[in-house]
Amino acid sequence: MNTTTTHFYGNTAVLTRRSLRHILRSPDTIITTAVMPVAIMVMFVYVLGGAINTGPYEYIDYMLPGILLITVASGIAYTAFRLFTDLQSGVFERFQSMPIARSSSLWAHVLTSLAANLMSLALVVGVALLLGFRTGAGPGAWLAVAGMLLLFTLALTWVAVVAGLSAKTVEGASAFSYPLIFLPFISSAFVPTDTMPGPVRWFAENQPVTSIVNSIRALFTQQSVGADLWLALAWCLGIMVVAYALAISTYKRRVS
């Protein structure tokens, strides 16, 4: 491993610890991220779930994958907020005057987002278990679910980086997440898509959330994942590559 690579990893580790300390000193961020998905889960399970036919599955088992994606979409808003705050306070300019790898500050925010969202996801799964969620999935299936959620979080985090670097106000830095939070509602996350009218059904069946939700649901229920897994991976990787390129370009333009 050459000196430049070692320098990058060392800088990223130090800056990630800095960001994580901010979160650990303010755990309400993680709690706030989980509150809305938990509230939606409780409402759908106890108020609306009885009116929705999900076949052989309990409604909490059917809808949990969508709730997990909403949790991630809610959590990345804080990533954009933290990035915007650092940018406005001049932290990035100070870093530029120090012998620090340029991209390490961005990666620190990305890794912090992954850690914070994993904690929020664990909290939501814990509440789901209390509400009756059950699965016969083995360790391999759980690892596959975790990997899918990690990849989804990474893809959306780079979208959040673009938003945080491009925003003009603190409100704008986090407002971009609202459409992402809403997207699971027009998918197979809460109701089967065959109950939707034509144009809405077409959109629901051909947007990224549906393939990701279907993949996670199949893993939890020990069903065949099929083509949904490859579609989900393609969507996540495609979003991540495009968002990463835009983030690096925006970062160079804002900080250089």
The pLDDT tens digits for 175-220 are 878 888 899 999 999 988 888 898 999 999 999 999 999 999 999 9
Residue-number span of the structural domain to which 208 is assigned: 3-255
Long-range contacts at 143-146 (CB < 8 A, ≥ 24 apart): 144/219, 145/216, 145/219, 145/220
User: Mean pLDDT lowest for which of 9-13, 69-73, 145-149?
Assistant: 9-13
The pLDDT tens digits for 88-120 are 766 666 666 665 666 677 788 888 888 889 989
Q: Rounded to an integer, what distance in angstroms lies between the CA atom of residue 235 and that of residue 237?
A: 6
Residue 125, pLDDT > 90, answer yes
Tokens read off for 132 = 């009756």
Reported as a pLDDT band with limits 50, 70 and 90, residue 27 is: low
| pLDDT, position 113 | 86
**What percent of the chain is modeled with pLDDT above 90?**
38
In the block, tokens 């306070």 appear at 89
- State which of 54-58, 108-112, 232-236 shows the largest mean pLDDT: 232-236
Distance from the Cα of residue 222 to its chain's centroid? 24
**What percent of the chain is modeled with pLDDT above 70?**
85
Q: Rounded to an integer, what distance in angstroms lies between the CA atom of residue 170 and that of residue 75?
A: 16
134/15: higher pLDDT: 134
Global model pTM greater than 0.85: yes
Q: How many other C-beta atoms are found inside a 10 Å radius of the C-beta of residue 43?
A: 11
